[in-house]
């Protein structure tokens, strides 16, 4: 597979973006702290996803980490700042930081293109929340993960309380969140916390190959399907049917649909 040398990827200090075929690889790049998320990294992550979202040559996104870990969670520097900040500023500063965190999670979860988390190592706290915001998770064999928030006197702030029950069921989600215990890749696969486990050396290639399989449909049909499925649990059957009708009407007008129908009709006329 050839890299697309014609695309100019965003320049950033803590986020590395590269292109493999039609997939953008977005890499958290603070390996010395296991890719802990700080404020600048949050903004750079948003910028990278927005670039991939609006670039038509990109059909899928792979989110991974540099070095030995996927993401160890929120940066300890931010926690230290909270301890040192004047009491009256803590809540407001935290509210602003949370807004940025939720923007970052929203661009992952709301992306119109398939997003695969390539979990190359430990994913703790916010790191695991971000992985679950992706459509799929492929974990390297031996990768460890934990909903570690309660061990710091916190609650899951990156969407984990929304995503985890949808992956493993409500009772199991409560157990994983309340215990904060560490789960290794094989158990995570059994629980449904991750979708596939592969050898560490094969991780990126496995994700790139899967991304190709997931993007056979037209961009419009993939985007509309994702948007409807992501709201299925919150929607009634009538709402899903209505959204499906609207999406189908849009798909009828796309060049990909017309081309595939014409190819099908021509193939059958040749047989006649």
Digit-by-digit pLDDT tens for the chain (272 residues) are 455 657 899 989 999 999 999 999 999 999 999 999 999 999 999 999 999 999 999 999 999 999 999 999 988 766 655 556 676 767 777 777 788 888 999 999 999 999 999 999 999 999 999 999 999 999 999 999 999 999 888 888 899 999 999 999 999 999 999 999 999 999 999 999 999 999 999 999 999 999 999 999 999 999 999 999 999 999 999 998 999 899 899 988 998 888 988 888 888 766 65
142 and 248 inside one domain = no
60 and 160 inside one domain = yes
CATH of the domain at 117: 3.90.226.10
176 and 69 inside one domain = yes
86 and 151 inside one domain = yes
Q: How far apart are CA 202 and CA 110, in angstroms?
A: 27
Model pTM? 0.90
How far is Cα of residue 267 from the mean position of the Cα atoms in its chain? 39
Helix (H) or strand (E) holding 118: strand 115-119
Query: Is residue 142 a part of any domain in this protein?
Result: yes
H helices present in 55-184, as ranges: 76-84, 87-109, 126-133, 160-168, 170-179
Structural domain that includes position 182:
15-214
93 and 154 inside one domain = yes
- Our count of domains for the chain comes to 2
195 and 261 inside one domain = no
> For residue 138, which phi and psi values (nearest 5 degrees)?
-110, 120
Query: Is residue 7 a part of any domain in this protein?
Result: no
178 and 228 inside one domain = no
H helices present in the chain, as ranges: 39-54, 76-84, 87-109, 126-133, 160-168, 170-179, 185-191, 203-214, 219-229, 237-252, 255-271
């Amino acid at each position: 597979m050839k890299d697309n040398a014609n695309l100019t990827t965003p320049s950033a200090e803590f986020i590395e973006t590269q292109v493999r075929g039609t997939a953008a690889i977005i890499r958290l790049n603070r390996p010395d702290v296991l890719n802990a998320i700080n404020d600048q990294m949050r903004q750079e992550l948003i910028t990278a996803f927005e670039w991939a979202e609006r670039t038509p040559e990109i059909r899928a996104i792979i989110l991974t980490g540099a070095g030995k870990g996927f993401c160890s969670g929120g940066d300890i520097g931010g926690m230290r700042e909270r301890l040192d900040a004047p009491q009256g500023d803590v809540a407001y500063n935290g509210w602003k930081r949370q807004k940025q965190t939720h923007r970052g999670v929203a661009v992952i979860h709301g992306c119109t293109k398939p997003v695969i988390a390539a979990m190359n190592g430990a994913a703790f706290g916010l790191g695991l929340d971000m992985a679950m915001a992706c459509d799929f998770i492929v974990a390297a064999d031996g990768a460890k993960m934990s909903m570690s928030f309660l061990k710091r006197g916190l609650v899951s702030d990156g969407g984990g309380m929304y995503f985890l029950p949808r992956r493993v069921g409500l009772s199991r989600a409560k157990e994983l969140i309340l215990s904060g215990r560490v789960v290794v890749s094989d158990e995570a696969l059994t629980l449904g916390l991750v979708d596939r486990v592969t050898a560490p050396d094969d991780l990126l290639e496995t994700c790139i190959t899967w991304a190709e399989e997931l993007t056979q449909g037209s961009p419009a049909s993939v985007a509309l399907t994702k948007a409807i499925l992501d709201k299925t649990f919150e929607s009634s059957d009538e709402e899903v049917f209505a959204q499906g009708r609207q999406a189908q009407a849009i798909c009828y007008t796309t060049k990909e649909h017309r081309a595939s129908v014409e190819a099908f009709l021509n193939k059958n006329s040749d047989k006649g």
